[in-house]
Amino acid sequence: MSDQRKYIRHPAEIPLEYKIAGDYHEHSDFTTNVSMGGLCFRASDPIDLGTIISLRFPSVNSGVTLSAKVVWCAEKENYVDIGVEFQNKTDALMAKTIEEICYIRKFEKNHPQKSF
């Protein structure tokens, strides 16, 4: 994992569902940050580098599935940070859109409009 990043990371705790290519089991976790190039999420187990996974964001309920490749894993005491790289620019843009939708929903929840 390099300290020089190609894209700026934005902290984001977004519910995430992912499937490892060729596996039928779906896992649920949360992102820790998102960038135009990929994202990081916490998982209970490491995933082999180079593994292709599909990502969904159930809180947006969009039905959109993105494709990403595992590029790094960092084992911590109780979890593993998984870094993935999007496989194309369309998926990267969609992930940023999902991130923005989640920020808007969180803002609306924390700042309900007042009636006048």
User: Going residue by residue through the chain (116 aa), what tens digit of pLDDT does each one get?
Assistant: 445 556 666 677 888 899 998 888 999 998 888 877 888 999 999 999 999 999 988 877 667 888 899 999 999 999 999 999 988 888 777 777 777 776 676 766 777 775 54
pLDDT at 57: 85
In a domain, 83, yes or no: yes
Note down the domain range covering 82.
10-110
In a domain, 116, yes or no: no
Beta carbons of 73 and 47 less than 8 angstroms apart = yes
Burial 2-20 (b: 16+ CB within 10 A, else e): eeeeeeebeebebebebbb
Q: Tell me, what CATH number does 99's domain have?
A: 2.40.10.220
- Report how far residue 2's alpha carbon sits from residue 15's, in angstroms, rounded to the nearest whole number: 26
Beta carbons of 76 and 20 less than 8 angstroms apart = no
In a domain, 18, yes or no: yes
**How many domains is the chain built from?**
1
In a domain, 5, yes or no: no
